[in-house]
Amino acid sequence: MFKKILIANRGEIACRVAKTAKRMGIRTVAVYSDADAQAAHVQACDEAVHIGGAAAKDSYLQWQRILEAAKATGAQAVHPGYGFLSENEAFARACAEAGLVFIGPPPEAIAAMGSKAAAKSLMDKAGVPLVPGYHGDNNEPTFLLQQAERIGFPVLIKASAGGGGRGMRRVDKAEDFIAALASCQREASSSFGTNHVLVERYVTRPRHIEIQVFGDTQGHCVYLFERDCSVQRRHQKVLEEAPAPGMTAERRAEMGAAAVAAAKAVGYVGAGTVEFIAEEIDDGDLRFYFMEMNTRLQVEHPVTEAITGHDLVEWQLRVANGQPLPAQQNELRMHGHAIEARICAENPDAGFLPATGRLDVLRWPAHVAFERTGGTDVTAPVRVDAGVREGDAISPFYDSMIAKLIVWGEDRQQALARLDAALRDTHIVGLATNVAFLRRVVQSRAFATADLDTALIERERPALFDQPGLPLPVAAAGVAAHLLTAEAAAPDADPWSRRDGFRLHGSARRRLDLATGKTHHAATLERSHDGALWLALNGRRHVLQTRALGADRFEVNVDGQREVLSVYARGEQRALFGEHASLELQEFDPIAHAGQEAGGHGGRLSAPMPGKVISFLVKAGDSVAAGQPLAVMEAMKMEHTLNAPRDGVVGELMFAVGDQVGEGAELLTLAEA
């Protein structure tokens, strides 16, 4: 077995690989950028080497520096993780030329499956069903539009070298095709270095089902069953589960055999995933089409580990070392049901806009970090795979994923219950996340009943977006409980300085100034001589009782309704988490804020996050309407179109295309029409 490996990645997957390597007695080398000098993956490895600037193109994509780091530290092999260089044929070849083992498939397999168009041609020859479309080399816009019209709308434009949902656009009518193609090609070029695309018929109620395959150097190849990854937003996965609900044993065997045939067709070695689009037919069975093959370990591999009991990173290391597969097909079994939720720094109510900032609070439910108990079992009721810690920052340079929350149950119903409880107990403060949104998805009728397809989020939109948080009286009670407990914990020796409401006669009143967003709420907390509490808020008086249950945890009773809250205070911000909902508000001093103005943004277009200006869609002097696209930014590897906040006339463009801008930067001015 290898004595030392270099992990050519960062974050969660680098930490994950390091844990298996450590358990196997293999030393690890981390690489890191300027932005990651103190990152968790650096601490998780035995050694670490700096390889460049914060942007991925200046560090994690600089494979020459990575090879130099491997040779300088005496590493024998390189694990690429996923993303970055994991499916880069040139990097795999360079590893071999440098005398290093690439812990992944042969370069020829990466090349064969790296181009979606070439892979589909190969699968067509192998007899694997394909979605009708155009997979050729001609990418002239007018020609592709003709092909789309031949196929029939809606169509899907896909980057040939794409992955992770990037470089994909659904187009419903011919007049939108050229603009969507240009946007897709820009994103593809930025993310994958080529703007080549293919066009396919858009399956209207598709399920995304993928098969985990594994091959070794002895010619063996197996499939470790399937994962359903249908719940997606912007073509990126949100929830993944194994096995796929409703999958028959016969269809599983057929899809597994097709996936193994696809892998063998390219001499595949190591971990890979064959992805299929499936649609229900009249008898309820599934018809499936080959979509693509990912020649690497997938983000969602933990659900396969949970139902099979096998450590897939260990399999990768053993196969790369020349050993045969740890198990053959007839030895593989499934047990129970597993679901993974991707915890991301993003705002679902703002179109899943990526968020950046500091993880002021990062609290997980009771869980294991990746482990194997008893030597062989990777099944745990709740598991968290993370590459960040409390106090770390989510920067604009990399993917927005914070962590993966994985649950396992004896059946899907138990797994759903565990996931709901685990999301309830996941508390993140400091930046916007999708945790509350994920919980609503899990509780939705469609997901709970396994009525799955890739449009589930849109179908369930009213139940998933813009939902009210914790009721304001309950939140105000939580703020009061936190305040009273903090004051009681630091009593003054002088009885006349006590702040517990003691009076010889009558009651004591104190004002609480709270705000949710831009809305101000004046609350009054009143304590009578006998210690009884009342909370007056928005013209209504509530009977209040509070009790501290421990650090940051309180029981409040508002008019007889009991709620247990976790309350986190950071400066003036208060984040409150209850059984069914959460809320963030501000407790502020009105005197300190006196004279401050709200500062409207009606006459300007501001950057909602740090990123790069890709294009301006208007010029100075243009008249625009509210909602009209004005500019395109790139952040966290995705393009984001910014629309006009109101009608007006474009004044000055404040930046040039290609400029890097900070959050809140004024991109252009808008004058009255």
Report, as residue numbers or ranges, the catalytic residues.
296
How far is the C-alpha of 549 from the C-alpha of 565, rounded, in Å?
A: 9
Under DSSP, is residue 652 helix (H, G, I), strand (E, B) or coil? strand
Q: Which of 380, 442, 386, 385 is nearest to 407 (CA)?
A: 380
Amino acid present at 647: D
Structure tokens at 430: 């400091």
**Residue 418 near residue 424 (C-beta atoms within 8 A):** no
Residue labelled with tokens 């269809």? 251
φ, ψ (nearest 5 deg) of residue 401 = -70, 130
Contact residues for 327 (Cβ-Cβ < 8 A; gap 6+): 222, 310
Structure tokens at 469: 């948080």
How far is the C-alpha of 66 from the C-alpha of 60, rounded, in Å?
A: 8
Q: Which of 513, 475, 476, 524 is nearest to 594 (CA)?
A: 513
Cα 579–Cα 582–Cα 583 angle in degrees, nearest 5: 150
Contact residues for 352 (Cβ-Cβ < 8 A; gap 6+): 233, 234, 346, 434
**Residue 103 near residue 79 (C-beta atoms within 8 A):** yes
Angle between the N-to-C axes of helices 107-114 and 116-125, in degrees from 0 to 180, rounded to the nearest 10: 100
How far is the C-alpha of 508 from the C-alpha of 513, rounded, in Å?
A: 17
Burial class (CB in 10 A: 0-12, 13-18, 19+), 328: exposed
3-state secondary structure 600-642: CCCCEEECCCCEEEEEECCCCCCEECCCCEEEEEEECCEEEEE
Q: Which of 550, 484, 545 is nearest to 512 (CA)?
A: 484
How far is the C-alpha of 25 from the C-alpha of 280, rounded, in Å?
A: 47
Structure tokens at 21: 């390597």
3-state secondary structure 513-566: EEEECCEEEEEEEEECCCCCEEEEECCEEEEEEEEEEECCEEEEEECCEEEEEE
**Residue 377 near residue 364 (C-beta atoms within 8 A):** no
Q: Are strands 27-33 and 4-7 parallel, antiparallel or unpaired?
A: parallel
Distance of CA 233 to the CA centre of its chain: 10
Q: Which of 82, 83, 104, 84 is nearest to 93 (CA)?
A: 104
Cα 202–Cα 238–Cα 241 angle in degrees, nearest 5: 95
**Residue 430 near residue 355 (C-beta atoms within 8 A):** no
**Residue 457 near residue 446 (C-beta atoms within 8 A):** no
Q: Are strands 573-577 and 582-587 parallel, antiparallel or unpaired?
A: antiparallel
Residue labelled with tokens 């609350």? 523
Q: Are strands 648-653 and 666-671 parallel, antiparallel or unpaired?
A: antiparallel
How far is the C-alpha of 549 from the C-alpha of 456, rounded, in Å?
A: 39
How far is the C-alpha of 402 from the C-alpha of 362, rounded, in Å?
A: 10
Contact residues for 211 (Cβ-Cβ < 8 A; gap 6+): 223, 225, 226, 255, 256, 258, 259, 273, 274, 276
Amino acid present at 370: F
